[in-house]
């Protein structure tokens, strides 16, 4: 194991511990930001070690679920700390995560992979299964609350919340079963990648367990540092006069850095199937695990929760899923599809700042 892969997670964790007891000034914020980047690099390295040991699609599932679980903890803790002012934070963060993954991460992967390898392929069966589940989850969680009539616009009643939470968790669990057991072959590459890792001997069980532990340390550091930096982000957003939804975007961008980097590296290595597994699996976990957690928190503690998206975001979400269905319709990609997704990503960011 490289020395830096051992030092970076513990260094970031140490800075996180220090930031908890010190005021977040400009210098400390800058150092924490550098530590966050280092933790992301370490997280991706250790995730790849684990993935190489357990194989696809379990390796990508480990990274996606680990990051999502910690992201859920971050959202819930901010809900508890913010009270009524954070009623839309779960919605904004989940929506931002879905848009960042489906337009930004997928777009960068397709563009980078297309520039490097001209044309790439992936399994249609797995991608379409993931996309159909993602459309259903997003529709139940982010779209329907805008149109239901039993409670104020954008909200669900308690019974509706329970139904959506159970449905989201069940659908995600069924997808994981399909991905890892029932139809695992749907999520395996069509051909071997050209990078050296394919033919390298898998790491030992001891090294894999060590990397898994360090992966968790790195991810906790990433999310913890993101939370520590969030007041700085909130202050910058307020000073710029930007909408509050930008805070959710900033949090999602920080938390998704490890997955983004891992997905882009896979695309550059001509392993687009791994990139798709990471991207779509992460988007599914972002809804399937986050919605039940925030519903339980809001219901038990009687906190307000607004899930329904405003009209502008509904249109962008629908456009993203439409383009995604076209992109995933052939199993072959090139730079054009990457460019289209990135234009949608740019529109999402621009319209979030200038609604």
Residue 207: Cβ-neighbour burial (10 angstroms; 0-12, 13-18, 19+): middle
For the chain, 355 residues long, give each residue's pLDDT as a single digit of tens.
788 888 999 999 999 998 888 887 888 888 988 888 888 778 878 877 887 787 766 766 776 777 777 677 777 777 776 666 778 888 998 999 999 999 999 999 999 999 999 899 888 888 899 999 999 999 999 999 999 999 999 999 999 999 999 999 999 999 989 988 888 888 887 664 444 444 456 788 888 889 889 988 988 887 788 778 777 877 777 787 778 778 778 778 877 887 788 889 999 999 998 889 888 888 898 888 889 988 998 888 888 899 999 999 999 999 999 999 999 888 899 999 999 999 999 999 999 988 8
Give the whole-angstrom CA distance, residue 225 versus residue 156: 32
Task: Provide the H-helix boundaries in the chain.
Answer: 3-21, 26-54, 58-82, 89-99, 106-117, 124-138, 158-177, 205-240, 245-255, 257-268, 272-288, 290-300, 311-327, 335-353
Residue 118, token pair as written in the block: 């001209």
Sequence-ordered list of residues with C-beta below 8 angstroms from that of 236, at least 6 positions apart, any chain: none
Position of tokens 């299964």?
A: 129
CATH code given to domain 3-353 = 1.20.1420.30
Asked if the bond preceding 57 is cis, omega within 30° of 0, the reply is: yes
């Amino acid at each position: 194991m490289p020395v830096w892969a051992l030092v970076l997670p513990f260094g970031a964790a140490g800075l996180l511990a220090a930031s908890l007891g010190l005021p977040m000034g400009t210098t400390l914020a800058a150092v924490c930001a550098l530590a966050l980047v280092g933790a992301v690099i370490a997280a991706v390295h250790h995730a790849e070690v684990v993935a190489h040991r357990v194989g696809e699609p379990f390796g990508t599932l480990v990274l996606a679920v680990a990051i999502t679980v910690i992201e859920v903890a971050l959202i819930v803790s901010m809900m508890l700390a913010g009270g009524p002012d954070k009623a839309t934070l779960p919605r904004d963060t989940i929506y931002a995560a879905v848009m960042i993954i489906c337009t930004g991460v997928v777009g960068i992967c397709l563009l980078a992979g297309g520039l490097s390898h001209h044309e790439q392929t992936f399994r249609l069966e797995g991608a379409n299964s993931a996309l159909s589940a993602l459309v259903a989850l997003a529709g139940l969680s982010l779209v329907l609350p805008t149109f239901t009539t039993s409670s104020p616009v954008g909200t669900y009643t308690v019974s509706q919340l329970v139904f959506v939470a159970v449905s989201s968790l069940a659908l995600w669990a069924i997808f994981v079963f399909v991905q890892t057991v029932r139809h695992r072959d749907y999520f395996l590459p069509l051909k071997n990648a050209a990078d050296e890792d394919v033919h390298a001997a898998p790491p030992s069980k001891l090294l894999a367990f060590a990397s898994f532990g360090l992966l968790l340390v790195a991810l906790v550091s990433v999310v913890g540092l993101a939370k520590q930096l969030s007041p700085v982000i909130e202050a910058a957003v307020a000073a710029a006069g930007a909408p509050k939804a930008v805070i959710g975007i900033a949090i999602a961008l920080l938390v998704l850095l490890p997955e983004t980097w891992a997905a882009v590296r896979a695309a550059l290595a001509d392993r687009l199937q791994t990139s798709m597994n990471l991207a779509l699996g992460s988007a599914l976990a972002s809804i399937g695990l986050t919605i039940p957690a925030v519903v339980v928190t809001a219901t038990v503690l009687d906190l307000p929760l607004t899930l329904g998206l405003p009209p502008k975001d509904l249109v962008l979400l629908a456009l993203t899923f439409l383009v995604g269905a076209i992109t995933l319709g052939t199993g072959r990609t090139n730079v054009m599809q990457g460019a289209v997704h990135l234009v949608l990503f740019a529109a999402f960011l621009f319209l979030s700042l200038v609604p």
